[in-house]
Amino acid sequence: MLPSQTSERIDALAGNLLAQHRQELQSRTDQLFGGLLVIQWLACIGISIWLTPLTWLGEEARVNSHVWSAVFLGGLIALPPLLMIWKEPGKFLTRHVIALAQMMSSALLIHLSGGRLEFHFHVFGSLAFLAFYRDWKVLVTASVVILADHFIRGVYWPISVFGTSLASPWRWLEHGAWVVFEDCFLIYACIRSQREMQEMALQRAELQVHNERVEETVTHRTAELAAANSSLQQHVTRRIQIEQELVAAKEAAEAASLAKSEFLANMSHEIRTPMNGVMGMTSLLLDSPLDEQQRNFAETIRQSADSLLSIINDILDFSKIEAGRVDLETIPISIQSCIEDSIDLLAQKAEEKELDLLYLIHEDTPPWILGDITRVRQILVNLISNALKFTEKGDVLIEVEAHPIPTPEGMNGSRPWHEFHFSVTDTGIGIPAERLDRLFKLFSQVDASTTRRYGGTGLGLAICSQLTELMGGRIWVESQPGVGSVFQFTIRAQEADAQEDEAAPVVDLAAFKERSLLIVDDNPTNRRIFSLQVQRWGMLPLEAGSGREALEILQRPDLNIDLAILDMQMPEMDGLELAEHIRQIPQRKALPLIMFSSAGLAPARGDARWQWFDSYLPKPIKQSQLSLALARALRISPASAARSYDAPLVNQQLADVIPLRILLAEDNLVNQRVARLILSRLGYDADVVSDGQEVISSVSLRAYDVILMDVQMPMMDGLEATRHLRATGNTAQIIALTAHASESDRQECLAAGMDDYASKPLRPNVLEQKLRLAAARLQNSTPVI
């Protein structure tokens, strides 16, 4: 509404309110006077009876004429206004008739009282009452009436009005003046009261208009709110609908994904069964007399079948993880062994490409943690193998560090928790920035051309990503094309009590304290790692980047050097040449020297130059071997007599002494590779299958002496497969491989028909011992031919 419209509306409303208020007020006042007139009429009669009741005329008593005039005149005065009050309340004429009647009543009362002065006050009282109308015109009518009465009666019948016949003819004027005097106040009061009524009406009108507007606004807002509410309601309904659709779509997608995973799992299994046949037969073929070309063909079949199987295993693994069917193990694992095992698997590849494979475990990293060694190793092997694949020159460095974290919710907090940060740094081809985010997705490779050149399925990193997530961590990569890549991942794990590790050498590290060591290597990363490592053992390392630099240091007679460790492959002057020069420095003639080199490049054992060296360390260098070599060079005896560091870790010719046909049943690819590597070091070439059903089909093709049987496998586990084999009369020695090392697990394995038991992670010396025992048992029952 416009402001001008508003003020018009307020004025109109104020007018109405005022009129209404006046009407009510005047009607009420009319009623008041109605009562008053009746009371006055009765009072007139009463006064006339009381003051002059009877006129005595002889014996007859008559009613005084005053009484009659009180009755009749009073009635005449009171009745017309009463009639009008009844019929026309609040009307202009009614109040003026009332004013007239009220004044006439006063006049009658004065007359009946014989003009007594006190009764004149009734006039003033009546005027004051008439002011209740708040209409000054009524006062004028009343005043005119009373003045006219006083004038006429004052002139013609003064006794009736002034109580004396001798009153001055101007006495009415004196009375009139008092009446006018009172009128002045009353009229002023009426006008003021009228104004107040107008103001009040205006305020009420404003308030009402304001209220109306507020109400209008409220109604408007309420309507808007209702509209908004209804649109919100619609929105919410739509959201709920969308959510339901989404849930349905998600369920459908999950079902599809599960179906896909199941399909992949079934497919991989179906493909693997004939593939195992192919491999078994190839093994048999390779055992038979073949000419060179045939052997080559058979070898190629076996290699191709191997790589096909590893792809299928990857797919199977991925679908298993995706379908949530992977339960992580929690057993104590040694970080060092975990890394060394992974390095072991890939050492040959590194050597072939002449790449240095190094690792560094940062200080404050707990040596033992509770976790799933298989899965951690699987990630490491994947990343290291990629790094080696995509690097032509330089080195691949594996690092691990840890920092404490609060105990994750719902986990046991008896021992501290850590986040372990692993990184695999290479100096390879690198990855363009725009491709980095795709790497961890299924089947994604940086570009198709690299696939052809390097091979691969693009599954490895996707599996790594899932596994790190399962272990409470994440995986990411930083890379610069042409410079190299750093693949990193974290896992969360609890620290474990130190366990006895059969692989770790027992050397008294305290004996290394304060011994000085010269490290000669052209690779600065290698030098840094060596230095850090030996410093941790309390040694004092010196570094030289070349043979020349080393000789300069060694020629200083003031420098006390207890030992030097030389890299075999260095530009300008190699390790052997350097050793020769060192031996020519008089004070260094007896300096213990350690050579480290990749196995293929080390001088042959028969080489006379070996005399200069105390030990040889094969690359990649492991901490355990390094400490042994240092102890040997420094003539420190081992801390525990239980195992002599001189004793070879495993017997490389065991297979020649005890020939065995071995079947390895293990579902995890990396575990398979570790077991195969250990077996190959003992001289065995085992056949490998991935579950119990495959064991059964393999033994139907070929007789095995020993079956290394993983207990937990998909499709058919090791226990069930063993029961099946025993039920069909198979007598092969079955050795259980399991992560669960409790006595009850052992009993369960033996109860199923297994002969022995080896706990994971598999260690070469343990496996050797188990194979020797198995062979002995076989000879007792059925002698090996």
**Where do contacts with ligand ADP occur on this chain (CB under 6 A)?**
382, 386-387, 390, 426, 428-429, 431, 439, 445-446, 450-451, 456-462, 485
Q: Which of 29, 386 has the CB closer to ligand ADP? A: 386
The Cα 103–Cα 126 span in angstroms is 7
Least distance in angstroms from the C-beta of 341 to ligand ADP: 19
Q: What is the CA radius of gyration of the chain?
A: 60
Residue pair 707/687 in contact by the 8 Å Cβ criterion: no
Residue nearest to ligand ADP (CB): 456
Residue pair 22/197 in contact by the 8 Å Cβ criterion: yes
* Phi (first) and psi of residue 763, to 5 degrees: -115, 140
- Render 53-112 in DSSP notation, one character per residue: -EEEETTEEEE-HHHHHHHHHHHHHHHHHHHHHHHSTT-HHHHHHHHHHHHHHHHHHHHH
Q: Which residue has the tokens 């008439």?
A: 130
Strands 54-57 and 60-63: antiparallel
Helix, strand or coil for residue 594?
A: strand
Q: Which of 439, 678 has the CB closer to ligand ADP? A: 439
The Cα 33–Cα 216 span in angstroms is 43
Least distance in angstroms from the C-beta of 469 to ligand ADP: 15
Q: Which of 142, 446 has the CB closer to ligand ADP? A: 446
Least distance in angstroms from the C-beta of 459 to ligand ADP: 6
Q: Which of 26, 374 has the CB closer to ligand ADP? A: 374
* Phi (first) and psi of residue 663, to 5 degrees: -115, 130
What would the 3-class secondary structure string for 635-676 be? CCCCCCCCCCCCCCCCCCCHHHHCCCCEEEECCCHHHHHHHH
Residue pair 734/707 in contact by the 8 Å Cβ criterion: yes
* List of residues 6+ apart from 440 with CB closer than 8 A: 461, 462, 464, 465, 475
The Cα 503–Cα 339 span in angstroms is 13
Least distance in angstroms from the C-beta of 655 to ligand ADP: 32
Q: Which of 456, 618 has the CB closer to ligand ADP? A: 456
Q: Which of 82, 429 has the CB closer to ligand ADP? A: 429
Q: Which of 148, 311 has the CB closer to ligand ADP? A: 311
Can you give the length of the chain in residues? Answer: 785
Q: Which of 183, 426 has the CB closer to ligand ADP? A: 426
Least distance in angstroms from the C-beta of 465 to ligand ADP: 9
Least distance in angstroms from the C-beta of 691 to ligand ADP: 23
Q: Which of 446, 629 has the CB closer to ligand ADP? A: 446
DSSP state at residue 323? T
Least distance in angstroms from the C-beta of 314 to ligand ADP: 8
Q: Which of 141, 488 has the CB closer to ligand ADP? A: 488
Least distance in angstroms from the C-beta of 477 to ligand ADP: 8
Q: Which of 383, 621 has the CB closer to ligand ADP? A: 383
Residue 520 host element (H or E): strand 516-520
Least distance in angstroms from the C-beta of 660 to ligand ADP: 33
Structure tokens belonging to residue 151: 């004038």
Least distance in angstroms from the C-beta of 419 to ligand ADP: 23
Output b/e per residue, 457-486; b: 16+ Cβ within 10 A: ebbbbbbbbbbbebbbbebbbebeeeebbb
Start-to-end CA distance of the chain, whole Å, equals: 114
Least distance in angstroms from the C-beta of 684 to ligand ADP: 28
The residue type found at 329 is E
The Cα 82–Cα 88 span in angstroms is 10
Q: Which of 335, 387 has the CB closer to ligand ADP? A: 387
Least distance in angstroms from the C-beta of 428 to ligand ADP: 5
Q: Which of 445, 523 has the CB closer to ligand ADP? A: 445
Q: Which of 150, 320 has the CB closer to ligand ADP? A: 320
Closest CA relative to residue 312, chosen from 246, 263, 265: 265
Q: Which of 116, 435 has the CB closer to ligand ADP? A: 435
* List of residues 6+ apart from 269 with CB closer than 8 A: 316, 691, 693, 715
Least distance in angstroms from the C-beta of 613 to ligand ADP: 34
Q: Which of 390, 530 has the CB closer to ligand ADP? A: 390
Widest distance between CA atoms in the chain: 190
Helix, strand or coil for residue 708?
A: strand
Helix, strand or coil for residue 241?
A: helix
Least distance in angstroms from the C-beta of 266 to ligand ADP: 23
Q: What torsion, rounded to 10 degrees, do the Cα atoms 26, 30, 33, 34 define?
A: -170
Least distance in angstroms from the C-beta of 476 to ligand ADP: 12
- Render 349-405 in DSSP notation, one character per residue: HHHHTT-EEEEEE-TT--SEEEE-HHHHHHHHHHHHHHHHHT-SSSEEEEEEEEEEE
Q: Which residue has the tokens 């200069």?
A: 612
The residue type found at 757 is Y
Least distance in angstroms from the C-beta of 272 to ligand ADP: 19
